[in-house]
Amino acid sequence: MRTTYPEVGAARAPDLVQRNWSLEAPDTVWVSDFTYVPSREGTVYVSFLQDVFSRRILGFTVATSMGAQLVTKALDQAISIRKRTNPSFTGQGVIVHSDAGSQYTSLAFSQKLLDHGMAGSIGRVGTAYDCQSVPVGSW
């Protein structure tokens, strides 16, 4: 099942990461993606945000549709988690990298990034990690 549908003509953030995954601190780059899980009750979608440096999942959402709300709720959760451990965390300067799916080019997601001083970064269609080599078992 395909989950990435780029919206034709949608404004798209530049690729600020350029596949440079060697970072020296947390909260520099977060990566966001989602997938689907078929079940007897129907398909559910799971969205997540991961800190690239620590590889920690900061936020995730499960929903029965793959609209913008799926990814904005995961972003809200990630910000909330960071604020819980560091009350002065604002998100300012964090790069949130994703693929070019319509959820990530949506006004709702873009506005949420702006509200928190985060920068959107979009790589190629269908791959938030842009072919990053992730060692097996590192998740």
Q: What is the CATH number of the domain that holds 115?
A: 3.30.420.10
In a domain, 36, yes or no: yes
Structure tokens at 55: 């590889």
Instruction: Please give the pLDDT value at position 125.
Output: 60
In a domain, 129, yes or no: no
Instruction: Please give the pLDDT value at position 6.
Output: 52
In a domain, 7, yes or no: no
Domains in the chain, number? 1
How many helices, marked H, and strands, marked E, lie in the chain? 2, 5
- Rounded alpha-carbon distances, angstroms, from residue 71 to 10, 23, 76, 80: 17, 24, 9, 14
Confidence of residue 19 (pLDDT cuts 50, 70, 90): confident
Residue-number span of the structural domain to which 58 is assigned: 29-122
Structure tokens at 103: 């959820």
Report CA 14 to chain centroid distance, whole Å. 15
In a domain, 112, yes or no: yes
In a domain, 75, yes or no: yes
In a domain, 90, yes or no: yes
In a domain, 91, yes or no: yes
What percent of the chain shows pLDDT beyond 70?
81
In a domain, 46, yes or no: yes
pLDDT per residue as tens digits for the range 29-70:
999 999 999 999 899 999 999 999 999 999 999 999 999 999
CA atoms within 13 A on the CB side of 109: 31
